[in-house]
Amino acid sequence: MEMKKFLCENCKKTIEVPRGTPKPEVCPYCGAPAANIHRIDEGGGRGLGPGRGRRCHSRGSGIF
């Protein structure tokens, strides 16, 4: 099953929910509100910011 991944900024834990499930309203680990939870999987997220349309395939890039 495909999973969506979120990172809780508060406790730094990864939250995985099945695809089709909405973003958790609170962190299941520490109870932080959704404002602290950010999606981290690479599906359909093309929002890198304005003016950054350059494709960068550098070797050994440390993308976090």
4/27 with CB nearer Zn ion: 27
16: buried, middle or exposed (CB in 10 Å: 19+, 13-18, 0-12)?
Answer: exposed
Of 31-60, which residues contact Zn ion (CB under 5 A)? 32
By C-beta, is 35 or 56 nearer to Zn ion? 35
Question: Taking the CA atoms of the chain, what radius of gyration do you get in angstroms?
Answer: 14
Q: Compute the distance between CA of residue 3 and CA of residue 21 in angstroms, rounded to an integer.
A: 9
CB-wise, 26 or 60, nearer to Zn ion? 26
Which residues lie near Zn ion (CB under 5 A)? 8, 10-11, 27, 29-30, 32
